[in-house]
Amino acid sequence: MANVLFRIISSELIATKSQQIRYGHRVRGKPPGIARTLEQRLAELKPYNPALQFKVDIGLPAVQKSKRAILAQQLEHRKKIQSDPNLERLARHKELRIDLDETEKIWQETSGAYDCRKIAEHYNIFQDLYGDAYFTPRVPLNISYTINDDGDLAKAFRGNILKPLETSKPPEVAYESDPNTLWTLLLTCPDGNLVEENSEYCHWFIGNIPGSDVEKGEMLMDYLKPIPLGGTGYHRYIFILYKQDKKLDFSAFRKEQPCLDLKERNWNTYNFYKDHQDFLTPAGLSFFQADWDSSVKDFFHNTLGTEEPTFEYNFPQPHIAKQRWFPLRMPFNLYMDKYRDPKQIHKEYLLKKLKKTHPFKEPEAPLRYPNAQYIDRSVPSWLKLEIRKERLGWGRINDV
């Protein structure tokens, strides 16, 4: 009986192996009829899919405007442009100037709010701040940072990159509103909290703003410059404008100014909106990204009086195969460099380039026909390749 079972099991194993071997190749893993499909494997991972989740719109309602009227207005404007011979002449001679302010105004009136929402969804802002809720920014925000005394500005739009040094001082915030309305302005950062893992930092909090006069609002937390730590990449700094239904009591959020204790600035947008959702409605959104620069170190040392936290990632050492006696199909010098100290290689290339560099003379003019220059036949093939690279401006020596 045991021999019969052994024969049956052996025959099944041989059949399975014969199915796995196709056209001289062995199929890895289980055969297609038994293995799970790609859809089944992805379903097991259960990634977050916004399309499959129930989303709640917590923003202002859309202004009802007839699509037919918008289309008719666009067609009329297009006909007016096409019938203007002066515009056609300027475009043909590349002298046509476009008013960017007017173009942005038209964009804001048509699809600007929806485009901003799509960008915010791309940067995962709604999920990190509101969970399964979102809103369409109906009120455009104009955020301008003054960089220097000459009046140069750095503006925050929708995810553009600004440096902490450029955003050291509070920005000028402008938006259009009825002077009889009340608003709340918040600047929050959901990235890089040093104390609580799932917490944010509140960098600015102004409540009960009359109309668009931000300076007359109630300052609850003074402005804190962006402090993205070294090694943590880009941080998102998000401006959110809320419309208030009435004057609210924000005294529980008031901090001593200047508030330099980072623990006091721990923030949770979800809980804040949940507690005040009956009287607050998100209406405007603008954000930028920032990464580390030297002003962050200066802020920690001279303003906070503490050491600056830095983060480094320890990459594993690359696996290098055991050295062979004679490499095939690989330039000899590149093969040998794999087993040398990278710092020493970089030093040699730098010294080689400095040898041809003079501080008071112009660099040598490149060869007009680099590949037409003669190379002695006694030179090995790997060295010929390096000479051609150097003449053509390719390789590491030209990148140093």
Confidence (pLDDT) at 48: 56
- The domains of the chain are located at 2-47, 63-114, 123-303, 332-398
Confidence (pLDDT) at 265: 94
| CATH numeric code, 123-303 | 3.90.280.10
Residue 206 near residue 187, CB atoms below 8 Å:
no
Say whether pTM exceeds 0.85.
Answer: no
Confidence (pLDDT) at 335: 85
pLDDT tens track for 256-294: 989 999 999 999 999 999 999 999 999 999 999 999 999
Listed in sequence order, the residues at least 6 apart from 33 whose beta carbon sits closer than 8 Å to its beta carbon are: none
- Per-residue tokens: 108: 């804001």
Please give the radius of gyration of the chain, using alpha carbons only, rounded to the nearest integer.
32
Confidence (pLDDT) at 320: 81
Confidence (pLDDT) at 12: 45
Taking the CB of residue 333, how many other CB atoms lie within 10 A of it? 13
Could you give the CA distance from residue 220 to residue 256 in angstroms, rounded to a whole number? 8
Q: Which regions of the chain are under pLDDT 50?
A: 1-2, 4-25
pLDDT tens track for 244-253: 999 999 999 9
Region of residue 74 (left: phi > 0; alpha: psi -120 to 50; beta: else): alpha
Listed in sequence order, the residues at least 6 apart from 395 whose beta carbon sits closer than 8 Å to its beta carbon are: 386, 389
Confidence (pLDDT) at 311: 86
Confidence (pLDDT) at 91: 85
Listed in sequence order, the residues at least 6 apart from 115 whose beta carbon sits closer than 8 Å to its beta carbon are: 107
Place of tokens 């960089």: 147
pLDDT tens track for 61-91: 887 666 677 778 888 888 888 888 888 888 8
Residue-level length of the chain: 400
Confidence (pLDDT) at 219: 95
Could you give the CA distance from residue 27 to residue 161 in angstroms, rounded to a whole number? 48
Confidence (pLDDT) at 49: 59
